[in-house]
Each structure stands twice: as C-alpha cells, then as structure tokens.
Amino acid sequence: MPISVTYTAVLDVKRSTAEHLARLLRDHRIVAGTRKGRRALGCFRQAVIVLRWFIDGTRLSQLARDNGLSVSTAYRYLHEGLTVLAAGAPDLAAALERAKAAGLTHLNLDGTVVRTDRVAAPSPNGADLWWSGKHKHHGGNVQVIATPDGWPIWVSPVRPGREHDTTCARHHGLIDALNRIAAELDMPTLVDLGYKNAGDGFRHPHKKAARGELTEVQQTYNKVIRGIHGVCERANSLLKTTFKALRRVSLDHSRITKIAAAALVLLQLEYDRTI
C-alpha cells in the first residue's frame, strides 16, 4: 500500500522572479568554482526550493524529500539562496538616496518583531535578550523604512527582541541619518511614541502627561500623525503576509538579517518596484 501521494502544485510567484534567482545562483556557483554536473539540482529547481520556503513556509525536511535531497543539502541550498538575494538589498545610504531622488514628502519608520523559536541568550543583568516583553514571545527586532504609501525601501539587520525601537534605530545609525535628511531636505520621518525624543527630524504623536490632558490642537495633531503614519503598517504587513517565512523563523536567530533583506528583494522583484 502506498505511503505517499504525488500531486501537482502551483507556486504563487512570477516566473521572472524565479528566473532572476536562478541566475543569481548560477553566478554564485561560477564564482565558487562548482563544476558542471556536481550538484543534485539545477539552479532553477534550487530557486524553487528557496521560494517555496519563503512563500509557503514549507519545512526543509519536506523540501528535501520532494527533491530527493538530504536535509543537510536542502539547508545548504536555502542558505545559498538567502545569501545571493540579501546581497541585492540596498544599504541605508542607497535607500535614502533613492528617497531623495524620488522627492518623497516624508518617510515612515517602524519596528517589527520576527518571531523565533526559543533561544537562550541572557543579557548582563540576566534577562533574556531575545524575549519581547511587548509581544510575549521570542523574536528579533527589525527596523523598516517605508515610503509615504507604505512601501518598504529598507530593512535593518536584526537586533534582540528585548531592545527598544529607539535603541535599535540608534544602533543602526538611523537616528543621525534620518535627522540629517530631515534637516537637509525637509523630509521628516513619521514614527510612533516608541521613538519619542529621537530628534527634530522625527514626527510622533504628543504623549499625555500623567496628570494632564492634551489640548484640542494636540489631539487634532495626533489624529493626523497617526492617520498618515498608520499607512506604514502596510510595509510590515506586506513583508509578513507575502512571506510566511517571516512569521516565524526556526533557523538560527542571526539568520533573520539575511531573511529580512532577501524578503525585501523578492518583494521588489514581484512588484517591480524599489521606491
């Protein structure tokens, strides 16, 4: 009696995206000096493995089985895909230069926590570095810069989920860079109260004093800022709804940096948009 069923499936991704990734993998093999016929799969089939993992969140053990690979080979194929994709993500300077060239009125900045399996990494005071008290689970903090309409143009390297958004932004040089671009180009960055006191280049809602009330003007300002900045949530949503791999990462948490950067590149390929 058969113990498995073979079926046909369609991956919800443009063929041009898969072909682009296959070309990147081909170039990677050439640079690595891989001889023809030494790999179990061709570049296109390897690209499909990487895309299935990103889009459907398919387990590596299943991907290995579907392609007649060992699990260790499937992991190696995935990590190669992450490396070549992430290499195409813009750095902060390039992303801000694109924003400048596009003449954007403002930028949006928001942090998102990418959930991970439990990791043991105590801080100097004994607290779990990767435990997010706000979200009540382990994860890594990734900062996302978006356009006024909520299109992500840059993602940061990962930081421990316990860190505050402002701490993460400062670590990545975002505070200085965004304050500078606001002063030079009159292009402020809209944020939530998690970035309070980040500088004059940031716009965030007024915080009500412990024993006070906001004025009518302040309340109106808050509604406007929250309404405009609320669009930024689309950036994080686009990344996480498009790629199931970003909803929970079972790889080493340090890999979130490449996963997020690779996801940004794939999103730009799928929509044919960078800014």
Q: What is the pLDDT of residue 156?
A: 99
76 lies in the same domain as 206: no
pLDDT: is 77 or 215 the higher one? 77
Around Cβ 27, how many Cβ atoms within 10 Å?
12
Range of the domain at 218: 92-251+263-271
Q: What is the pLDDT of residue 2?
A: 62
In a domain? residue 166: yes
Which band of pLDDT confidence, cut at 50, 70 and 90, is reported for residue 246? Answer: very high
Domain count, the chain: 2
Widest CA span of the chain, in angstroms?
Answer: 75
129 lies in the same domain as 96: yes
Please say whether the dihedral angle defined by the alpha carbons of residues 13, 19, 20 and 26, taken in this order, is positive or negative: positive
In a domain? residue 3: no
Q: What does the DSSP assignment read for 227-261?
A: HHHGGGHHHHHHHHHH-GGGTEE-S-GGGHHHHHH
In a domain? residue 258: no
| Spatial distance between the Cα atoms of 90 and 250, rounded to a whole number of angstroms | 25
Q: What does the DSSP assignment read for 156-204?
A: PPPEETTS-HHHHHHHTTHHHHHHHHHHHH---EE--GGGTTS-TTEE-
In a domain? residue 6: no
Assign residue 136 a region (left: φ > 0; alpha: ψ between -120 and 50; beta: otherwise): left
167 lies in the same domain as 35: no
Q: Which residue, 50, 45, 82, is CA-closest to 67?
A: 45
221 lies in the same domain as 100: yes
pLDDT, tens digit, for every residue of 39-86?
A: 999 999 999 999 999 999 999 999 999 999 999 999 999 999 999 999
Q: Which residue, 84, 118, 116, is CA-closest to 245?
A: 116
Take residue 187 and report the two structure tokens written for it: 């292009």
Q: What percent of the chain has pLDDT over 90?
A: 78
Q: What does the DSSP assignment read for 58-77?
A: --HHHHHHHTT--HHHHHHH
Across the chain, what does the average pLDDT equal? 94
Q: What is the pLDDT of residue 121?
A: 78
Q: What is the pLDDT of residue 231?
A: 80
Mutual angle of helices 71-86 and 256-271, in 10-degree steps: 60
CA dihedral (239, 115, 91, 14) in degrees, to 10, reads -30
In a domain? residue 64: yes
- Total-model pTM: 0.93
267 lies in the same domain as 162: yes
- Cβ atoms 114, 158 nearer than 8 A: yes
**SS3 assignment, position 270:** helix
In a domain? residue 137: yes
63 lies in the same domain as 175: no
38 lies in the same domain as 158: no
pLDDT, tens digit, for every residue of 141-200?
A: 999 999 999 999 999 999 999 999 999 999 999 999 999 999 999 999 999 998 988 999
Mean pLDDT of 110-121: 87
Q: Which residue, 128, 153, 129, is CA-closest to 141?
A: 129
pLDDT, tens digit, for every residue of 11-51?
A: 999 999 999 999 999 999 999 999 888 899 999 999 999 99
Q: What is the pLDDT of residue 218?
A: 92
Among candidate residues 86, 108, 143, the one where a domain is terminated: 86
197 lies in the same domain as 231: yes
In a domain? residue 43: yes
